[in-house]
Structure 1
Amino acid sequence: MMHTRSERADREPDTSARPPLVRELLLVVGLFLVYKLGRQAANGRVEEAFRNAGHVWKFERAAGLPDEGAVQGLLLHSHTLVQLANTYYATVHFPATLAFLVWLYRRRPRHYVWSRRVLTALTGAALALHLLFPLAPPRLLRAAGLVDTGQVYGPTVYGDSPATDSTANQFAAMPSLHFGWALVVAVGLIVATRSRWGLLWLLHPLLTLLVIVGTANHYWLDSLAVSALLAVAFAALRLPRTPLPAHQPWPAVVPARAYAPAAYARPGVRR
Structure 2
Amino acid sequence: MIRIRRRSDGLPVVWIEVVMIIGFYYTYTATRAVADGSVGDALAVGWDLLRIQTDLHLDVELGLNHWLQGIPVLAVASCYYYATFHFIVTPATLVWLYRRRPGHYLRARWTILCATVISLVGFILLPTAPPRLLPGAGFVDTMASFHGWGWWGGGSSAAPRGLAGLANQFAAMPSLHCAWALWCGWYVASLAHRRWVRTLGVVYPGTTAFVVIATANHYVLDAVAGWLVLGLGALLAVVVTRLARQQCRHDGHADLVGSPSEPTRPESASEPEPEPAGAVSAGLGQPTAQCRSSGREGR
Q: Contact 2:143 / 2:154 at 8 angstroms: preserved in 1?
A: no
Say what the alpha-carbon RMSD is for the aligned residues.
2.6
Aligned amino acid, residue 211 of structure 2: V
Residues 1:173 and 1:158: Cα distance change in structure 2 (over 3 Å): farther
Show the counterpart of 1:11: none
* Cα separation, 2, equivalents of 1:236 and 1:34: 20
Q: Tell me the equivalent position of 2:260.
A: 243
| CA distance in 2: counterparts of 1:130 and 1:108, whole angstroms | 32
**The residue matched to 1:175 in structure 2 has which SS?**
coil
Structure of larger gyration radius = 1
After TM superposition, give the deviation of residue 193 of structure 1 in Å. 2.7
Q: TM-score, normalised by structure 2?
A: 0.70
2:43 corresponds to which residue? 50
Superposition misfits of 4+ residues, deviation over 6 angstroms: 239-242
Distance apart, 1:157 and its partner CA: 4.2
Cα pair 2:113 2:233 within 8 Å, conserved: no
The aligned amino acid for 1:225 is A
The answer to whether residue 105 in structure 2 is matched with residue 89 in structure 1 is: no
60, 64, 68: which is aligned to 1:71?
64
Q: Distance in 1 between matches of 2:103 and 2:10?
A: 5
Does structure 2 conserve the Cα–Cα contact (< 8 Å) formed by 1:182 and 1:204? yes
- Quote the residue 1:130 is aligned against: 123
d(CA) in 2 for partners of 1:43, 1:111: 38
Deviations 1:91-114 (A, max 9, x none): 111111111111111111232221
Identity score, percent: 34
- The amino acid that maps onto 2:210 is L
Q: Which has the higher contact order (CA 8 A, sep 6+)?
A: 2
Aligned-partner SS, 2:63: helix
- Aligned residue in 2 for 1:250: none
Match for 2:141 among 136, 148, 166?
Answer: 148
Q: What is the alpha-carbon distance in structure 1 between the residues aligned to residue 259 and residue 218 of structure 2?
A: 38
Residue 199 of structure 1: CA displacement?
4.9
SS, match of residue 187 in structure 1 = helix
Deviations 1:105-160 (A, max 9, x none): 11112322212111111111001111111111101113431111111122474662
Structure 1 residues 41, 16: closer, same or farther in 2, change over 3 A?
same
- Correspondences of 1:210-221 after superposition (within 5 Å): 210-221=210-221
1:20 offset after TM fit, Å? 1.4
Are positions 1:209 and 2:215 aligned together? Answer: no
Structure 1 residue 28: Cα displacement: 2.0
Change (3 A) 1:233 1:129: same
User: Any idea what SS the aligned residue of 2:36 has?
Assistant: coil
SS in 1 for 2:166: coil
Q: Cα gap change, 1:158/1:222 in structure 2, threshold over 3 Å: closer, same or farther? A: farther
Q: Deviations over 1:162-218 (max 9, x none)?
A: 9x9522111111111011101111112233336666354121111111100010000
Give the Cα–Cα distance (whole angstroms) in 2 for the partners of residues 49 and 90 of structure 1: 23
Aligned length: 232
| Deviation (angstroms), 1:57 | 0.7
CA deviation after TM superposition for structure 1 residue 40, in Å = 3.7
Supply the distance in 2 between the matched residues of 1:39 and 1:191 (Cα, whole angstroms).
35
Which stretches in structure 1 are left out of the alignment for 5+ residues?
1-13, 247-271
Query: How far off its partner does 1:51 sit?
Result: 1.0
Quickly say closer, same or farther: Cα 1:129–1:177, change in 2 above 3 A: same
Specify the alignment match of 1:160 in structure 2.
155
**Counterpart for residue 234 of structure 2:** 234
Q: Distance in 2 between matches of 1:84 and 1:214?
A: 12
**Residue 139 of structure 1 pairs with residue 132 of structure 2:** yes
What TM-score do the two structures reach when normalised by structure 1?
0.77
Following the alignment from structure 1 to structure 2, what is the Cα–Cα distance between the partners of residues 242 and 134?
45
Residues 177 and 242 from structure 1, CA distance in 2 versus in 1: closer, same or farther, beyond 3 angstroms? farther
- SS for the counterpart of 1:136 is coil
The verdict on how the C-alpha distance between 1:210 and 1:244 changes in structure 2, with shifts beyond 3 A counting, is closer
- Cα–Cα, structure 1 residues 245 and 148, in superposed 2: closer, same or farther, change >3 Å? closer
Partner of 1:259: none
